[in-house]
Structure 1
């Protein structure tokens, strides 16, 4: 009887844990795909009321997010149709589907912020799509992966700038979500194994990259409270040395004058040097 009770309690615990795991997955599908030990940003802690000043950079960011979807969705569809590589097909399908979700987010944000969004890709993006239409097989795979990887690398630092500096809560949340999408897309594209990393732009050298920061940390000019200096020596030290020299001169002169009055001492002193 005791063994039966233990078995029942064990089954209840296992079934309860399984139900909890399923509930968590349904509430947060991304948690099921997260890498172990890698936290997901808590997006729901950010407000999204359209409050806060919106800058020209914020508006430009929303436009760029919209433009990305306008060409990457059809590019992903072409990848599914034209590529012979199952991996490229899968990458194209995932990126296109995720851009449809991101496109909804940016359109919702634009309504709150009264930002006008474009309805067609820009000239460069149309040119990339034309390249893909003309390419076939492995050439298509190369064009698709390289064009998308370069585009994601270009917008990636812009997202970080907006996320760190915007005053508007809706733009802030959009930037955070966009950052997650772009990181995922870069990883998917690189998983193809055919990214030409040598063709990507290089980071600026450290001197130019940190020049503004170094200038901000440069010592300020000497204020009135800081001792002035002449030829690298503090004025205070020079004054002390000058006063000491004057004192020694006065002392020597007085000593000489007093010595000349004491003739016996002078004669003895003369005999001492003559011996």
Structure 2
């Protein structure tokens, strides 16, 4: 347990150190650092796995942050309920993801990637029913992207823990996508 924590903290410190040096996207930085570490250890071909872990970390942080925001600002009780499900589900995914990252010695971003920050800013700029509609629309779009990426990694990841992690999350992502689509249809007809 102490080794896991030490490896995670070392990775986080590495990321913090490099984040302050450049203006690049946090996802790209984390993935590049992971690849650099793997290659220094003689492990090749980990770019896609490293990128996925970094993307998944940022995407799950986005889902939690948007869910928390929707719990505060949503008008519709259905949207608040969806937000609670999203926050809870993606917090669990983050815990699993953190375990995979620590075990596999992947570097993860500690802030949203630029594309995820843009989504957050877009949704948080809305109010009232406009917020509810923007939140649900973006949740659906993001889950659609997540589902495709996780399906790909469940088949094509090099690291077996990454492959298993991606595969394990597919049912939850499908469920979230279906709920978001159904709620978007209901709210869109209001």
The TM-score, its normalising length taken from structure 1, stands at 0.49
Q: Give yes or no for contact 2:153–2:166 (8 Å, CA) kept in 1.
A: yes
Gaps of 5+ in 1: 1-51, 198-275
Judge conservation of contact 2:49–2:158 (CA < 8 Å) in 1. no
**Two-structure CA RMSD over aligned residues (Å):** 2.2
* CA distance in 2: counterparts of 1:105 and 1:195, whole angstroms: 32
CA distance in 1, matches of 2:170, 2:80: 23
Match of 1:178 in 2: 169
Give yes or no for contact 1:54–1:166 (8 Å, CA) kept in 2.
Answer: no
What are the superposed Cα offsets for residues 54-101 of structure 1, whole Å, 9 maximum, x if unpaired?
621111111111111211111001111111111100000100111110
Q: Is the 8 A contact 1:70 1:119 kept in 2?
A: no
Aligned match of 2:102 in 108, 111, 114?
111
Q: CA deviation at 1:195?
A: 8.0
- Larger relative contact order (CA 8 Å, sep ≥ 6): 2
Give the structure with the higher percent helix.
2
Distance apart, 1:194 and its partner CA? 3.5
Give the Cα separation in 2 of the matches to 1:154 and 1:167: 21
* Structure 2: gaps of 5 or more residues: 1-42
SS at match of 1:192: helix
Greater displacement, 180-189 / 82-91: 180-189
User: Which 4+ residue blocks in structure 1 deviate beyond 3 angstroms?
Assistant: 193-197
How far the C-alpha of 1:53 sits from its partner, in A, is: 7.7
Q: Relative to 1, partners in 2 of residues 1:177 and 1:53: Cα closer, same or farther, differing over 3 Å? A: farther
TM-score (norm 2): 0.70
1:111–1:127 CA distance, 2 compared to 1 (3 A): same
**CA deviation map 1:117-160 (0-9, x unaligned):** 00111122222222222211110011101112111112322212
